[in-house]
Structures are given as C-alpha cells and as structure tokens.
C-alpha cells in the first residue's frame, strides 16, 4: 500500500474510535425521528403521531429519514441511524482530507497538512458527541464538503459564466437543504465567491453588473427541491416555528457567556493553532476563502443562538476553515525543529493533546442534561461540575 492508502485507513480507524463513544445513543431531539420513519413507511399511526411527524423539525430534513425507512426492517430504527451516521462520519473525515489537500495543492506539504486537518476533524468534540447518535448532524458535514467541491469546480472553470453550471450547483445546494439545514451557510458563501470573482475582473461597472445578472439568476433553482417537498407533503418551510425558541434569557450577559463557553469548548486548543496558522498563511486566495466562509459561519452561529439553541453541534460548521488553519499552525510549530523526527513527534504530540482534550470534554460534557434555552453560562458550568461529580462517583 502507498502512503495515501495508509492515511485513509488510519482516518477510518480514528473515525470508528470517535464515533463509538456515543454510538447508538439518543437525545431529546431523537424522539422526532422515530414517528417520521414510521410515517414514511406507511405504517398506521394515530392522528397525534402523524401530526407530530409531519410538523416536526426533523421531518423537514427528510433525506436521511427516507434512507433509514428503507433499511429499518433490517436493523431497527436506532441501529439504522447509527450505522448510516458512522458511514457518513467516515466519509466526512476522508472528504476533509481530500478537500484540505486541494486547498493546499500549491504547497509541497499539502498531503501532510490535509492529513493533520482530517485527524483534527475525526477527533473534534462535536463529532465525538453527536456524529453517531440518532440525529442527522454528520450528514450536514458531508453536504458542506460536497458543496464546497462543487462551488470550487464551477468558480474555477474558465467558462464559469455558463448559467447552467451555476444552476446545477444551486439545485444541488437546494437538495442538500433537505438533508441538513447547515448547508444554508453555503448560500451566502457562494454568492460572495461569485461577487469576489467578478470584482477582480478588469471590466466596467456596467459589464460587471450584467455578469452578476447572468450568474445570479439561476439561484431560483435552489428553491425547487424545498418547494416541491413542501407542496407534496403539505408542510411549512424548514425554519417555520423556530421563533418559539426565542427567550429573553439567551441575550443576557450570562446568556452570551454560555454562548462563548459552549462554542469555545467545541474546538478548544484548535483556535490557538488556527491563530498561528492565520499568521503563517501567505496565500491571498486562501485567505479570502477563510474570510468569506468565516463571515457566513459566524452569522449562522449567531443566528442559531437567536432562534434555536446554543450547542457545539452548530460550531462544527466552521471546520472547513478552522481545521485547515489549525493544521497549518501545528505544521508551523513543528517546522521550527530542523530535525524531521522532532517535527513528526511535535505534530503527533499536538494531535494527541487535541484528541485527549476532545475525548475528556466529550466524557464530561453534560450532553445528557437538558439545559433550558434561557439558561446562562452559570448553568453550563454547574452542569459540567455535576457531570464530573457523577463520573468520579462511578470510578
């Protein structure tokens, strides 16, 4: 086997370890997925269960539910979700490797940096906590990566003004909205990438305007899958009803403290590595991608805080920029050693330290505790302390 094959096998092994910690476990959100599967299978349900299924937030992201409905007779509902999510987790880890390698294709160390980024992905706290539970989170990471590949493929084409290329990408993103709503982050990102490219062209303002019209009108294709789904199943839009989650306590000082604690814990020391990576990054093209995607990511996370909940599940959307930057940071720290073995030891130590913090965080994070939406940062701290006492009591 060549080096790349060894890398892929080791990433699969890491994903299996990370995904096994909370494999086949449930959360409060899980209860919406069970009647949705039975409804799609055509089983007889009470009127209350039918209403609960079709009006649930879960049912409005039906693609994974459809797949589970097909394989449920073989494995059961919980096992079907968990097996599918484990496969998606492995796929997302491998895609992270290939996307990161493409991102650094002009670097001599592209494969090494990409491998570091993929290891960071496989051992991130949010994926350890939620990837293989009875949820659809990890499917969203796969769609984000495929969407990024598709956007880059069209943007980098010499004939990137062809409307049908953009129509295809918008249609793909629209379909992915039925997989997991996190893909919505790529809607503004794609628009910003298009505007950035047009702005760089040496054309008159009038020509730039008509290029925008020519490229942007296919955006209507993005709404086709969602509209067809809403019409066929007679359901409301994906985000309908989320305003009910708005509570005043979330916007207090302690509410924002909770926001910082939870989202800060998601990637912990990777933020420090990413800082060093940003200082080291010299490629203007990549820096523009980081900024454009980062803006969209922060808007998404703050928006979720306003209309839904605070969870490291949502921080994970930052991984396509944060983890490659952290990989550069780790490589930069290791590069200070001139000896190749010392470099590799430093990289291994950084990755091991990151993984240990993530696994300890996953062990102690109060993921089984229902923290009220209007709870503040003190509630998170108290919940973590209670979880630590509980775990210490077991030992």
Q: What average pLDDT does this structure show over 279-295?
A: 91
Among 10-24, 174-188, 327-341, the range scoring the smallest mean pLDDT is 327-341
C-alpha distances (whole Å) from 364 to each of 14, 95, 322 are 20, 29, 24
The arithmetic mean of pLDDT across residues 192-200, rounded, is 83
Give the pLDDT of residue 157: 75
* 230 vs 158 pLDDT, higher one: 230
> pLDDT for 3-16, tens place per residue?
888 999 999 999 99
Mean pLDDT for the stretch of residues 183-194:
92
Listed by start position, the domains of the chain span 3-394
The model's pTM is 0.91
Pair of tokens at residue 98 = 């290939």
Q: Is the confidence at residue 382, as pLDDT, over 70?
A: yes
Between the alpha carbon of residue 286 and those of residues 15, 216, 280, the distances in Å are: 27, 23, 12
Model confidence at 251, in pLDDT bands (50, 70, 90)? low
pLDDT value of position 44: 75
Answer whether 166's CB lies under 8 Å from 126's CB.
no
pLDDT, tens digit (0-9, with 9 covering 90-100), for 71-97: 999 998 889 999 999 999 999 999 999
Average pLDDT over residues 229-251: 66
- Residue-averaged pLDDT of the chain: 86
- pLDDT-above-70 percentage for the chain: 90
Q: What would the two tokens of residue 352 be?
A: 């091991």
**Confidence band, pLDDT 50/70/90 cuts, at residue 186:** very high
CB atoms within 10 A of CB 381: 13
165-168 long-range CB contacts below 8 Å, 24 or more apart? 166/194, 166/215, 166/218, 166/219, 167/218, 167/221, 168/221
Q: Give pLDDT tens digits for 87-131.
A: 999 999 999 999 999 999 888 889 999 999 999 999 999 999 999
> What pLDDT is stored for residue 33 in this prediction?
84
What count of other Cβ atoms lies within 10 Å of the Cβ of residue 194? Answer: 20
pLDDT of residue 155 exceeding 80 = yes
């Amino acid at each position: 086997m060549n080096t790349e094959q060894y890398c892929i096998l080791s990433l699969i092994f890491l994903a299996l370890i990370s995904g096994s910690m909370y494999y086949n476990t449930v959360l409060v959100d899980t209860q919406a997925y069970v009647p949705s599967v039975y409804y799609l299978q055509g089983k007889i349900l009470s009127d209350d269960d039918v209403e609960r299924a079709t009006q649930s937030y879960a049912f409005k992201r039906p693609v994974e539910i459809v797949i589970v409905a097909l394989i449920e007779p073989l494995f059961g509902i919980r096992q079907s979700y968990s097996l599918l999510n484990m496969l998606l987790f492995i796929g997302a880890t491998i895609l992270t490797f290939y996307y990161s390698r493409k991102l650094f294709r002009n670097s001599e160390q592209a494969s090494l940096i990409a491998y570091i980024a993929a290891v960071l992905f496989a051992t991130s706290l949010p994926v350890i906590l939620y990837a293989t539970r009875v949820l659809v989170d990890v499917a969203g990471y796969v769609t984000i990566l495929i969407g990024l590949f598709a956007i880059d493929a069209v943007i980098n084409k010499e004939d990137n003004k062809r409307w049908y290329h953009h129509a295809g990408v918008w249609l793909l993103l629209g379909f992915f909205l039925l997989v997991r709503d996190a893909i919505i982050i790529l809607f503004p990102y794609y628009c910003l990438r298009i505007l950035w490219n047009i702005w760089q062209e040496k054309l008159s303002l009038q020509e730039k305007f008509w290029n925008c019209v020519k490229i942007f009108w296919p955006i209507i294709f993005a709404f086709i899958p969602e509209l067809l789904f809403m019409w066929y199943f007679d359901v409301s839009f994906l985000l309908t009803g989320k305003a009910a989650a708005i509570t005043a306590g979330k916007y207090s000082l302690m509410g924002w403290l909770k926001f910082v604690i939870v989202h800060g814990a998601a990637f912990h020391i990777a933020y420090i590595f990413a800082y060093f990576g940003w200082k080291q990054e010299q490629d203007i093209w990549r820096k523009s991608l980081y900024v454009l995607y980062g803006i969209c990511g922060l808007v998404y996370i703050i928006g979720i805080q306003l209309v839904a909940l605070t969870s490291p599940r949502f921080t994970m959307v930052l991984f396509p920029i944060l983890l490659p930057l952290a990989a550069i940071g780790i490589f930069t720290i290791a590069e200070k050693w001139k000896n190749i073995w010392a470099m590799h030891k430093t990289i291994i130590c950084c990755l091991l330290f990151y993984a240990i913090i993530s696994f300890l965080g996953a062990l102690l994070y109060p993921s089984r505790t229902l923290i009220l939406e209007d709870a503040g940062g003190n509630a998170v701290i108290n919940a973590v302390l209670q979880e630590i006492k509980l775990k210490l009591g077991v030992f």
